[in-house]
Structure 1
Amino acid sequence: MSIPPPRNEIAAQASKSTLQRVKSTGDSSHADHLDSSDFPEGGVTAWSTAIGAFLIQFCGAGYTCSYGVFQDFYTRTYLRILHHLRLRHVSDLQCYSWIGGINVLLTFSVGLVSGRLLDRGVFYHVMKIGCLLQCLCLFMLSLAKPNAYYQASLIFLSQGIGSGVGIGLTNVPSITVVSHHFQRRRALVMALVMTGLSTGAILQPIILNNLINGRLGFANGVRVSAGMISGLLLIAYLLMHTRLPPQPQAISYTRVLRNSWRDRPYSCACLGMAAFEVGLFFVLFYLQLDSRLHGLSKGFSFYSLTIFNTGSLSGRLTAGVVSAYMGIPNTVIGCSFISSAVIFSMIGLRSEASAALIGVSYGYFSGGFIALISPLISYLTPEDSDIGARIGISFAMSALTFCLGAPICRAVLTSHYIWWRPAVLAGVSGSCEVAFCFSG
């Protein structure tokens, strides 16, 4: 018969085991993953957090993806910025592209800071500041008046900079906090959370087009939209909860960057995502304007972004399921390859049928790609403690590419609206993304 070990030895072993678990949870230098049994994989708190993150994506990145409505409205009916600036070599459309470009740049690049703050345990403070700033800037946007330079500056500061920072503070933490509750189902739940972006991008263009271009007008329409966003953000803030303890030491971005760029699959994935953004936001910002200028009906043009985002929502919903069978990397490569092929077809956009087909098909496969960005980064990250930092780095690179890509597409488009040129540029950038994925 075996003799049980002394009680003090059992206590020492238990203490040692507990210490190892705390280290693996909170120390960013520890390379071991948390055991899958440490994640609840469900429950009220976990699913309420996922729902809250869904609403954050709906109100944040979903609103950003609705900028095509403002792009069309500003260009045709609202502002004449250059008349006051007297810059004849730059078009109004280029100025409006910069507003949307700066907004997207900040939406994703601020994740470098907010992702780190999440790891440091200040999730609730970051979310509170980001939600309040986003709401404030939307109400400030409603104060802008047409045909005045200082009012154009107000639009740039509120919609371009302020709203971008606010959304950026909530974007990466809302996605990353899901990883606190799920590991085995992480790719599926993150993909479902990202459908909030598509849902917002489907519904909000309809709402904004009917509010801004309807009886309410720009000011009251934006105020109604801002009130809706404020209520949803409050609900989202109350639903989300963290679970893992904060890290005792700040993440060294120097260390994370050094380790990341030595990681060939991760670095290729980041470069591929950055290349993909050029084509994605060309369609997102210019599909409605392209439809209008090709003589398609006003009603159809207003719903062109909704058609695109409906396809994107379908792609995001199915991406998590498909990746469970094909694998996340293979699904990403397939979606990016088909997306790059579809975008070349914008050269032939002439009718409502062609615009609808392009919108649905490109939206579906680009949506599948976007839904798997965060799961892909999580999949390629060896340390759970670095997920927030790595997602922030990849988002910042993508945002920088877009900020430069949107004005470049506008310059290639020219004031004569030669649509095949930016379509080719966007298609080539998508092809580069496929090449980077294969290289990784």
Structure 2
Amino acid sequence: MDTLLDPPDLEAAPGRDGHNISQTAWNRNVLRMEDEKHEQKGKASDKASLGTQQLEASPANVPLLQAPEVLPPPDGGFMAWLHVVLSHCVFFNTWGVTNSFGVFQQYYEQSLDHPPSDISWIGSVQVFLLFFVGVYAGRATDAGFFRHVFLSGVLLQLLGTFLTSLCTEYWEIFLAQAICVGLGHGFVFSPAMSVLSSYFSTKRALAVGLAAVGGATGGIVYPAVANQLLYHSDIGFPWTIRIVGFIMLGTHVPSLLFFRPRLPPRKAGKLIEWAALRELPYTTFAAAFFFNFWGLYFVFFYLGTFARDKLGVTDSINLVVALNGVGVIGRFLPNLVGVYCTGTLNILLPFTFTAALLVYCWIAVSSVKALWVFTAIYGIVAAGTQSLCLATATVMVTDLRKVGTQVGMVLTIVSFATLTGPAIQGALIQRDQGGYLYAQIFSATSILIGAVLAVAARISKVGYNLKVKI
């Protein structure tokens, strides 16, 4: 049988033009056909090899080690300490504003036909939203949307403040000052805390403490400005609030320009880290945080009205200014001691027990001098408790990539304490026919429960060893 390589009789192999094909031409055709076969086999082999390479390089087969590496925090340096200054401005415009609500509590009681418990809802909802939106703002920050969230928060703060200057009715003030400003607080505060925490490790509590001093400086500036303009000038309520808004705008400019997230975005992840809620130290501390803040804000909201109604102090706003002013000491020194000597949780414990004791002692205050002494001591202790709780919340997070989400979760839990606490205390004052005893007992007992839970959180974390720095 003839094969492909066996040329037929040359005489029987005519070409297309009818002429006979020579031996050389025939051999050339045979070689060309063989080359085409080998070329087709090579292409098929290349395709198979390419498919294998694509499969090996597919996302499912890329090792997890190729994900963006999380570098350790610098724990110092220019950018890290710059973010402490920027976060100070954030505290100034969030905690400084909420700590100043005592001025507006007193003014609204005089100008609006509503009981103290109704007025307190404005301040309590504002603080509630500062905490509540933390879990959403924190997760968005982890996902790489810090600038979007932060800018939205600043705009909401300014919008709510300037709208408040146009309000004359209770419901209008509630929507503007409580809802709009409160949402702005939340969208600003939690992302700033997340970014600040990512720049520090061993000095994180010190950094948060220094930033938290902004709550005290804001608590001095805002009530002093409001008091001077509302009660000692003819400028009136609308322009008083507008001036407050312009101060807020000016002090937010550095943060808008220079805040820089350090960690790479973590797109995948849950809104709530349920695994963290199964960690006993984390959940116990969150409960301690809740009870502390359930009672802690009573003095900030009602000190001015207590001085006016019970002791006849005519310029009681000065007490609110002093309460926030001495907080500079309480927000800085305890964190400094906590970082370099004891640990933040260890020093938080005596502060919370002392805060509870002071509110119990407030029951016996019956003179203006005694009230000033109480204000000075409680201002230091309460400010220390506030800043130490926040600093310890960041320390309780073990995975730095999830710090925004987990700190936001704690703040959301605490938000319900700040929402209901002042309203309950206002209702207790009404039930006591204007007396403060029931509200004082409720607040002091809440702080005491928080102190006991903080002890439980420490035991669950490190046991009974008193020498452990945490």
Q: Same fold (TM over 0.5)?
A: yes
Q: Which amino acid aligns with 1:422?
A: A
1:42 pairs with 2:85: no
Deviation at 1:74, TM superposition (A): 0.5
Q: Could you report, residue by residue, the CA deviation over 1:142-199 in whole angstroms, capped at 9, with x for unpaired residues? A: 0012xxxxx2221010001000001110011111211222222211111101111111
- 1:304-315, aligned counterparts within 5 Å? 304-315=319-330
- 1:279-290, aligned counterparts within 5 Å? 279-290=295-306
1:229 pairs with 2:248: yes
Q: Provide the TM-score with structure 1 as the length reference.
A: 0.86
1:80 pairs with 2:113: yes
What is the distance in 2 between the residues matched to 1:204 and 1:410? 23
Q: Which residue of 1 aligns with 2:277?
A: 261
Q: Which residue of 2 aligns with 1:207?
A: 225
Q: Which residue of 1 aligns with 2:128?
A: 105
Name the SS of the counterpart of 1:60 in structure 2. Answer: helix
1:174 pairs with 2:208: no
Q: Which residue of 1 aligns with 2:460?
A: none
What is the distance in 1 between the residues matched to 2:67 and 2:236? 56
Residue 128 of structure 1, aligned match among 151, 154, 172: 151
Deviation at 1:23, TM superposition (A): 5.0
Q: How many residues align?
A: 392
Q: Which residue of 1 aligns with 2:434?
A: 417
Residue 140 of structure 1, aligned match among 141, 160, 163: 163
What is the distance in 2 between the residues matched to 1:395 and 1:141? 26
Deviation at 1:75, TM superposition (A): 0.4
Q: Could you report, residue by residue, the CA deviation over 1:92-119 in whole angstroms, capped at 9, with x for unpaired residues? A: 2121111111111111111111111110
Q: Which residue of 2 aligns with 1:70?
A: 104
1:433 pairs with 2:450: yes
1:343 pairs with 2:376: no
What is the distance in 1 between the residues matched to 2:258 and 2:214? 15
Q: Which residue of 2 aligns with 1:387?
A: 403
Q: Could you report, residue by residue, the CA deviation over 1:72-92 in whole angstroms, capped at 9, with x for unpaired residues? A: 00102x1125xxxxxxxxxx2
Q: Which residue of 2 aligns with 1:52?
A: 86
Structure 1 unpaired stretches of 5+: 1-17, 26-33, 82-91, 146-150
What is the distance in 2 between the residues matched to 1:160 and 1:139? 13
Deviation at 1:21, TM superposition (A): 8.2
Name the SS of the counterpart of 2:311 in structure 1. Answer: coil
Q: Which amino acid aligns with 1:242?
A: P
Q: Which amino acid aligns with 1:110?
A: V
What is the distance in 2 between the residues matched to 1:195 and 1:22? 37
1:239 pairs with 2:258: yes
Identity %: 27
The structure with the larger Rg is 2
CA contact (8 A) 2:293 2:418 kept: yes
CA contact (8 A) 1:71 1:96 kept: yes
CA RMSD in angstroms comes to 1.7
| Residues 160, 124 of structure 1: alpha-carbon distance in 2 compared, 3 angstrom cutoff | same
Q: Which residue of 2 aligns with 1:85?
A: none
Q: Which one is further off, 262-271 or 415-424?
A: 415-424
Residue 198 of structure 1, aligned match among 216, 219, 229: 216
CA contact (8 A) 1:51 1:239 kept: no
Deviation at 1:422, TM superposition (A): 0.6
Q: Which amino acid aligns with 1:49?
A: H
| Residues 278, 248 of structure 1: alpha-carbon distance in 2 compared, 3 angstrom cutoff | closer
What is the distance in 1 between the residues matched to 2:284 and 2:353? 15
Q: Which residue of 2 aligns with 1:326?
A: 342
Q: Which amino acid aligns with 1:419?
A: Y
What is the distance in 1 between the residues matched to 2:283 and 2:397? 11
Q: Which amino acid aligns with 1:363?
A: G
Deviation at 1:22, TM superposition (A): 4.5
Q: Which residue of 2 aligns with 1:248?
A: 267
CA contact (8 A) 1:112 1:396 kept: yes
Q: Which residue of 2 aligns with 1:115?
A: 138
Deviation at 1:40, TM superposition (A): 2.4
What is the distance in 1 between the residues matched to 2:208 and 2:442? 30
1:400 pairs with 2:438: no
Q: Which amino acid aligns with 1:142?
A: S
Deviation at 1:42, TM superposition (A): 2.8
Name the SS of the counterpart of 2:435 in structure 1. Answer: coil
Q: Which residue of 1 aligns with 2:318?
A: 303
What is the distance in 1 between the residues matched to 2:402 and 2:237? 43
Q: Which amino acid aligns with 2:451?
A: V
| Residues 21, 378 of structure 1: alpha-carbon distance in 2 compared, 3 angstrom cutoff | farther
CA contact (8 A) 2:144 2:267 kept: no
Q: Which residue of 1 aligns with 2:309?
A: 293
Name the SS of the counterpart of 1:400 in structure 2. Answer: helix
Name the SS of the counterpart of 1:189 in structure 2. Answer: helix
Q: Which residue of 1 aligns with 2:32?
A: none
Name the SS of the counterpart of 2:381 in structure 1. Answer: helix
Q: Which amino acid aligns with 2:170?
A: A
Name the SS of the counterpart of 1:348 in structure 2. Answer: coil
CA contact (8 A) 1:52 1:237 kept: no
Deviation at 1:132, TM superposition (A): 0.9
What is the distance in 1 between the residues matched to 2:333 and 2:217? 14
Deviation at 1:261, TM superposition (A): 2.1
CA contact (8 A) 2:117 2:425 kept: no
Name the SS of the counterpart of 1:382 in structure 2. Answer: coil
Q: Could you report, residue by residue, the CA deviation over 1:40-68 in whole angstroms, capped at 9, with x for unpaired residues? A: 23333222222111101101221111111
Deviation at 1:230, TM superposition (A): 1.1
What is the distance in 1 between the residues matched to 2:318 and 2:380? 16
Q: Which amino acid aligns with 1:224?
A: I
- 1:349-388, aligned counterparts within 5 Å? 349-388=365-404
Q: Which amino acid aligns with 1:64?
A: T
CA contact (8 A) 1:211 1:222 kept: no
Q: Which amino acid aligns with 2:324?
A: N
1:152 pairs with 2:170: yes
